[in-house]
Amino acid sequence: MGKYFGTDGYRGEANVDLTADTAFKVGKFLAYYFSNKGTKECRIVIGKDTRRSSYMFEYALSAGITAAGADAYLMHVTTTPSVSYIVRSEDFSCGVMISASHNPFYDNGLKVINENGEKVSDDFIAEIEAYLDGETEEVPLATGDKIGRTVDFAAGRNRYIGYLISLATRSFKGKKIALDCANGSASSCAKAVFDALGADTHVLSNDPNGYNINANCGSTHMEALQEYVKNGDCEIGFAYDGDADRCLCVDSDGELVDGDQILYLCGKNMRDKGQLKDNKIVTTIMSNFGLYKALDGAGLSYEKTKVGDRYVYENMAENGYSLGGEQSGHIIFMRHATTGDGILTSIKLMEVLLEEKKSLKEALAEYQRFPQVLKNVRVKDKLLVEQNETVQEAVKKVEESLGEDGRILLRASGTEPLIRVMVEASKEELCEKYVEEVIAVMKKEGLVLS
């Protein structure tokens, strides 16, 4: 993880941590780097979510790209996975998605995607950060007929929509499905996909205004979708995050179904069809105990990575695995995508249920989720918390108390000044107790922002 680029790109509060000047410099560097220092043609595609500041960053990036002699193709409001798809299928040099994912509207970010549709390497991050810090030579400005241009490329989003529709092998006709688009990127394409597949589509949080992205909606705030599905006789509901690379869902009773459960259902189905290499699923250390018990019961194996769909993807790519993801809803179907894709995940899960002729609740009847409590603590310095001996002693004490009947994880967010404290145990009250004990120690040590 770099100084500026975390597990999911350069992210921070717009015009505080991430400015238009920075975006301009990033654009210049991308044009110079991917054109091999101006020696070959460079085309860079840009997508954005619905935040007010995304316009500013779109123009600043474009200015930097064209000033350094490359062409910028603007997809406008679209999803992160659509940028990844277009980069690899349309022979672009790289792509940038302007988004802070599930963060509030006042944050924003730059996700750089390489020519293969993948998140960029640590080596690349080290180079671009050295440039941003003035440690390397300045990128020269193009002149004369070498100056780049911007191209309206909204057609790229339509091609992505067509791609998603082409992947479905079954009609959704007669299925009443609710979609929570988080007032974000999914608002540009999710309904079109489900309508084309024949669903009776009901859409929530599909009216972005620049400020309401993720606001009490989407995959981080499931309450509205749960209520709508439960009271609206929908068979299922899907919720996306701000840039639509995550998907969580809700069964007909309004019960939350997370990424772990989606992995379980899709993994079993892929195994039965001979599509799951080594009968193995790639997970992260944040996956619930319940997932591993369910996978053991189904005869499926698994690997665990650090938190972040980037690490899941790297493991999958290195070993040729077919399916992986996170509890938060980043699910990667390697045959079809190189990143988490919320709308693709919805399609795949719907196909599992249609093939097995089961409701979501019926399909998960044998799955038992362990009680889990996760709390985000805003701190002064993440590293100081991780190195604090008193905090580590408190964590060790909880580990000893839980034994083999649970676990505790203390980890820093890769994108925000947060420490996540998570406990799984046999009872929710135990989870709450142990989480609060550790947070109390962090406060006593003066590590928590008031």
Number of alpha carbons in the 13 Å side-chain half-sphere of residue 303: 20
For 367, the token pair is 């799955």
pLDDT in tens, 218-266: 999 999 999 999 998 899 999 999 999 999 999 999 999 999 999 999 9
CA distance linking residue 241 with residue 330, whole number of Å: 10
pLDDT in tens, 48-100: 999 999 999 999 999 999 999 999 999 999 999 999 999 999 999 999 999 99
pTM of the complete model: 0.90
Residue 260 assigned to a binding site: no
Dihedral, CA of residue 218, residue 3, residue 374 and residue 408, to nearest 10: 150
pLDDT in tens, 389-440: 999 999 999 999 998 778 899 988 877 789 999 999 988 999 999 999 999 9
Quickly state the pLDDT bin for 190 (edges 50, 70, 90). Answer: very high
Length of the chain: 450
**Residue 50 pairs with which residues in a beta bridge?**
none
Residue 243 assigned to a binding site: yes
CATH 3.40.120.10 location in the chain: 5-153, 169-363
CATH 3.30.310.50 location in the chain: 372-444
Look-up: residue for tokens 């120690």? 441
pLDDT of residue 1: 59
Which CATH fold topology does 5-153 show? Answer: Alpha-D-Glucose-1,6-Bisphosphate; Chain A, domain 3 (3.40.120)
Contact status, residue 434 vs residue 398, Cβ threshold 8 Å:
yes
For 36, the token pair is 């091999």
Quickly state the pLDDT bin for 344 (edges 50, 70, 90). Answer: very high
Identify the DSSP state of 14: B
The one-letter amino acid at 122: D
CA distance linking residue 267 with residue 247, whole number of Å: 16
pLDDT of residue 398: 95
For 422, the token pair is 């998570």
Q: Any residues with CB less than 8 A from the CB of 368 and at least 6 apart, and which?
A: 290, 293, 294
CA distance linking residue 166 with residue 152, whole number of Å: 24
Give the 3-state secondary structure of residue 60: helix
Q: What φ, ψ does residue 241 adopt, rounded to 5°?
A: -95, -170
Q: What is the set of active-site residues?
A: 101
Q: Checking DSSP bridges between strand 236-240 and strand 247-250, what pairing results, if any?
A: antiparallel
Distance of CA 421 to the CA centre of its chain: 20
pLDDT in tens, 3-16: 888 878 899 999 99
Give the 3-state secondary structure of residue 187: helix
CA distance linking residue 155 with residue 165, whole number of Å: 15
Q: Checking DSSP bridges between strand 107-113 and strand 9-13, what pairing results, if any?
A: antiparallel
pLDDT of residue 404: 78
Look-up: residue for tokens 């070498």? 146
Task: For the sheet with 407-412, list strands across it.
Answer: 372-378, 418-424, 407-412
Look-up: residue for tokens 């259902």? 265
Which CATH fold topology does 169-363 show? Answer: Alpha-D-Glucose-1,6-Bisphosphate; Chain A, domain 3 (3.40.120)
Residue 233 assigned to a binding site: no
For 71, the token pair is 């062409």
Q: Calculate what percentage of the chain has a pLDDT beyond 90.
A: 89
Mean pLDDT along residues 157-177: 97
Q: Taking each helix axis from N to C terminus, what angle separates 259-272 and 289-298, rounded to the nearest 10 degrees? A: 10
CA distance linking residue 348 with residue 337, whole number of Å: 12
Look-up: residue for tokens 């991430």? 18
Which CATH fold topology does 372-444 show? Answer: TATA-Binding Protein (3.30.310)
Residue 91 assigned to a binding site: no
Mean pLDDT over all residues of the chain? Answer: 95
Q: Checking DSSP bridges between strand 331-333 and strand 323-325, what pairing results, if any?
A: antiparallel
CA distance linking residue 48 with residue 78, whole number of Å: 6
Give the 3-state secondary structure of residue 388: coil
